Amino acid sequence: MALDYEKKLAATATPIPGFLVFDLTVHGDNRGWFKENWQRAKMTALGLPDFGPVQNNISFNDEVGVTRGIHAEPWDKFISVATGRVFGAWVDLREGPSFGTVFTCEIDPGVAVYVPRGVGNAYQTLEPNTAYSYLVNAHWSPEAKYTFLNLADETVAINWPIPLSEAILSDKDKGHPRLDAVTPFPPAAPRVLVTGAHGQLGRALMTQLPEAGFVPVGVDLDELNIADRASVEAYDWSGVDIIVNAAAWTNVDGAETPEGRPQAWAANATGPSNLARVATKHGLTLVHISSEYTFDGTHAPHTEDEPPSPLGVYGQSKAGGDAAVESTPRHFLVRTSWVVGAGKNFVATMADLAARGIAPKVVDDQIGRLTFTTDLAAGIIHLLSSDAPWGTYNLSNEGTPLSWAEVAKQVFTLTGHDPDAVTPISTEEYFAGKSVAARPADSTLDLSKIEGTGFQPPSMDRRLMEYVAQFSALHLGHSGS
């Protein structure tokens, strides 16, 4: 069969969701032919998932009529033929509405197919000395669980070019079940490693990830020291698809001290660099949480492409970690501000002061938006679940930017206390006589990019009201016990 040397590289969708057929460009003359069998940049531009192959396998068949399948495997495959020609048949054995959908086509050196995990794969050789090649994105393991379908199943009714009665089959393939006896291939739940799992954001993620269909594994410093390269490289990454790095050194003033400076850099820069390295090596997605402290606060609202201009060591260390994370291809760098969640935070502190009758002085010349961890976690999950492009995204709650003093007054009002008990004061006055880090004057983040992906951050005012109500109820409950 003559090869078509005029074809251009192209991708075609099929009735099986996610299954793609590629026309490959083959260059040839009287000496033979040459082709780019796998070209990541060109093929991903045509719609091929960047599936990160880690193993290349070749099946060689001497005779015409060798028939193998139908096997659904727990990895994605990119299949081509090095020499010869095969008839390929694929049946969707994944759980869902497309279960049982069939697609067939011939594969010669000018055609390749992308087969998502859970889609049953079978082929029949049409020429002698056929070499069938495939890339997979997981290492073969004897513990891997397959789903099988009988080649002769009457429901899918594959029209084999060579009748199965005349074909060469293994006894094992002859014994596979019919479609009505097949247990569908379960959806693959992405496995997410959350660093800093006991922190404010980490706890929100560990709660929400299972609800969104992810399998979370939480670690903290005592289980995985991300700043220790040897510890990171020794970790078993085979059970991880996504890393969400919620670990950080957040003591802004402590980072300015001789003791705190190396700790801030270790957690905020070295740690993300180590995670970026393993993410690149293993083809993992890395989500990293950044801060508005990477900016000096003079050009708000801050956009994702604003150059870093940190005022202090904390911001400098976060900017260093950001640069490392941007080096790994599959990354989401999520920049946030004024985080509020379970545990110690500004809102909880103000509510506690109000309850104890303490009238605080609060700075009124730093403005920004609060970010509640429930929404920060939801935004991260949205990025992971959607087709959002890799890159940097700002994420806070929506609403009119407020000063810290205005937030404090709202908390006092919501807890039933006099907001005038809060005395606004300048940053300079508040820190007079103290050695502290400089703060950005305006922390407001531009949210248009993440909103463009379909995620709408909830109102800061509404979330503050809900949070204070929960805090007050908890406080009253403890008081009465």
Question: Do residues 117 and 69 touch, judged by C-beta distance below 8 A?
Answer: no
Q: Which of 114, 123, 132, 134 is catalytic?
A: 134
Q: How far apart are CA 26 and CA 5, in angstroms?
A: 5
Our answer to whether residue 132 is catalytic in this structure is no
Instruction: Identify the H or E element spanning 208.
Output: helix 200-211
Residue 227: which residues within 8 A CB-CB, separation 6 or more? 266, 267, 270, 271, 274
Q: What is the per-residue DSSP string for 54-72?
A: -EEEEEEE-STTBEEEEEE
3-state secondary structure of 136: strand
Q: CA distances (Å), 262 to each of 219, 254, 274, 293, in order?
A: 22, 10, 16, 18
Compute and round to an integer the Cα radius of gyration of the chain: 28
What DSSP character marks residue 292?
G
| 43 CB burial (10 A radius; 0-12, 13-18, 19+) | buried
Our answer to whether residue 27 is catalytic in this structure is no
Question: Do residues 447 and 395 touch, judged by C-beta distance below 8 A?
Answer: yes
Q: How far apart are CA 232 and CA 225, in angstroms?
A: 7
Q: What is the per-residue DSSP string for 425-468?
A: E-HHHHTTT-------SB--B--HHHHTTT--PPBHHHHHHHHH
Catalytic site positions: 71, 134
